[in-house]
């Protein structure tokens, strides 16, 4: 059978950390994209927001987040896309998990995506954050950039995997 | 998720015009079933009837956030009747496509009721997650997608079913 869930690119952050993780030259030959993340940053707090940008663009994003955090629930909107990840004050060796699902990423319609993230921690500041994202841009997505919203480094041993999904 | 041939597209469709319903059929043969929708509807709510079963056997519980508050809704068989597995209604985006994923685990067995896990993103209005139950032991072999309340699935919407094989 055909391989319909293919690894396009991967990153494992090395010693010293990384200011960003960038997937570039993403081919348009798939139907959907999946990004799977295990990320921790050097932010002096917890959690941190890992900002997602497409094609280097800083505009036309909206996100609605449903939050379960420290036993409470809330919902809010932002004008940028992000996944929550663990910051440097969370339990040692603990990384936030996140996934992005981008259907029809190469289409000429605005891009809708699903974002899931979780930041478990051996004290307070643990949470789960499903979110709906939109990039109101009709360009095909050819690159994805990931940075800490506080400009802190992404920690060593963080990983990011980009998969392409075919429907035939 | 599994890689390679264990994640297999079974059926897919992209709508060339507005349609009141879509059926994906011949879905059997795998351990689990994942449905990916890039969906826009014109009005009403969105629901799924496995095997086109219109009996009063469905219940759902959802958790959603509208950008201001978080809330939860419970709909029993008495509420839903034969509507099906109801995902969302009200303030549905008609301007942008919405990312929706559905998971039916162990969907092919003929001894247990079937559970659905859903994530829906109404990009203009809310984010949510739903668990649904179909009180039927019949193996799922088809899925009927439609809009309750007279709406339609809009042109350009796409629906793909992937089969996940345990071995």
Among chain A residues, CA nearest to B129 = A130
For A96-106, write each residue's pLDDT tens digit. Answer: 999 999 999 99
For B92-142, write each residue's pLDDT tens digit. Answer: 566 789 999 999 999 999 999 999 999 998 877 889 999 999 999 999 999
For A85-98, write each residue's pLDDT tens digit. Answer: 999 999 999 999 99
DSSP string covering B106-161, please?
TTT-SSS-EEEEEEEEETTTEEEEEEEEE---SPP--EEEEEETS--BPTT-EEEE
Residue ranges per domain, chain B? 4-164
Instruction: Give the minimum alpha-carbon distance from A7 to chain B in angstroms, rounded to a whole number.
Output: 8
Per-residue pLDDT at B27 exceeds 90: yes
Between CA A80 and CA A63 the distance in angstroms is: 6
Between CA A168 and CA B91 the distance in angstroms is: 33
Question: What ipTM was reported for this prediction?
Answer: 0.89
Structure tokens that stand for B128 in this block = 């949510």
| CATH code (residue A10) | 2.60.120
For B139-161, write each residue's pLDDT tens digit. Answer: 999 999 999 888 899 999 999 99
Structure tokens that stand for B146 in this block = 């439609």
Q: Which residue has the tokens 């351990």?
A: B31
User: Does B67 sit within 8 Å of A67, measured CB to CB?
Assistant: no
Residue A123: predicted pLDDT: 80
User: CB distance from B141 to chain A under 8 Å?
Assistant: no
Residue B88: predicted pLDDT: 74
Q: Are A134 and B93 a contacting pair, CB within 8 Å?
A: no
Chain B positions in Cβ-Cβ contact with residue A77 (cut-off 8 Å): 67-68
Report the 10 Å Cβ neighbour count for B127: 31
User: Across the interface, which of A77, A112, A130 has its CB nearest the CB of B67?
Assistant: A77
Instruction: Give the minimum alpha-carbon distance from A95 to chain B in angstroms, rounded to a whole number.
Output: 19
Chain B positions in Cβ-Cβ contact with residue A114 (cut-off 8 Å): 99, 101, 119, 121
Selected for mutation to probe chain B from A164, A167, A168 (highest B CB count within 10 Å) is A167
Pick the CATH number of B4-164 from 1.20.120, 3.40.630, 1.10.3470, 2.60.120: 2.60.120
Structure tokens that stand for A112 in this block = 């809708």
Among chain A residues, CA nearest to B12 = A167
Q: Look up the domain containing A46 and give its range.
A: 5-165
């Amino acid at each position: 059978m055909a391989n319909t869930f293919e690894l396009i690119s991967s990153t494992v952050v090395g010693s010293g950390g990384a200011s960003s993780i960038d997937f570039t030259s993403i081919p348009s030959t798939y139907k959907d994209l999946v990004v799977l993340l295990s990320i921790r940053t050097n932010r002096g707090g917890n959690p941190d927001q890992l900002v997602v940008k497409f094609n280097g663009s800083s505009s036309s994003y909206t996100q609605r987040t449903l939050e379960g955090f420290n036993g409470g629930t809330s919902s809010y909107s932002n004008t940028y896309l992000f996944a929550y990840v663990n910051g440097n004050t969370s339990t040692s060796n603990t990384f936030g998990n996140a996934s992005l699902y981008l259907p029809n990423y190469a289409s000429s319609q605005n891009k809708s995506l699903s974002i899931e993230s979780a930041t478990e921690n051996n004290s307070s500041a643990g949470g789960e954050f499903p979110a709906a994202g939109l990039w109101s841009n009709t360009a095909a997505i050819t690159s994805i950039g990931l940075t800490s919203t506080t400009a802190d480094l992404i920690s060593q041993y963080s990983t990011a995997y980009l998969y392409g999904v075919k429907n035939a | 998720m599994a890689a390679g041939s264990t994640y297999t597209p079974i059926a897919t469709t992209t709508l060339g015009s507005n349609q009141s319903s879509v059926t994906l059929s011949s879905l059997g043969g795998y351990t689990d079933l994942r449905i990916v929708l890039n969906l826009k509807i014109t009005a009403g709510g969105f629901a799924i009837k496995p095997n086109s079963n219109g009996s009063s056997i469905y219940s759902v519980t959802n958790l959603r956030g509208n950008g201001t508050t978080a809330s939860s809704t419970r709909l029993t068989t008495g509420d839903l009747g034969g509507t099906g597995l109801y995902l969302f209604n009200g303030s549905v985006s008609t301007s942008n496509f919405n990312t929706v994923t559905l998971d039916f685990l162990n969907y092919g067995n003929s001894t247990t009721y079937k559970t659905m896990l859903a994530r829906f993103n109404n990009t203009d209005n809310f984010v949510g997650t739903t668990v649904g139950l179909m009180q039927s032991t019949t193996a799922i072999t088809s899925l009927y997608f439609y809009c309750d309340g007279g709406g339609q699935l809009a042109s350009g919407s796409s629906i793909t079913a992937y089969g996940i094989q345990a071995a």
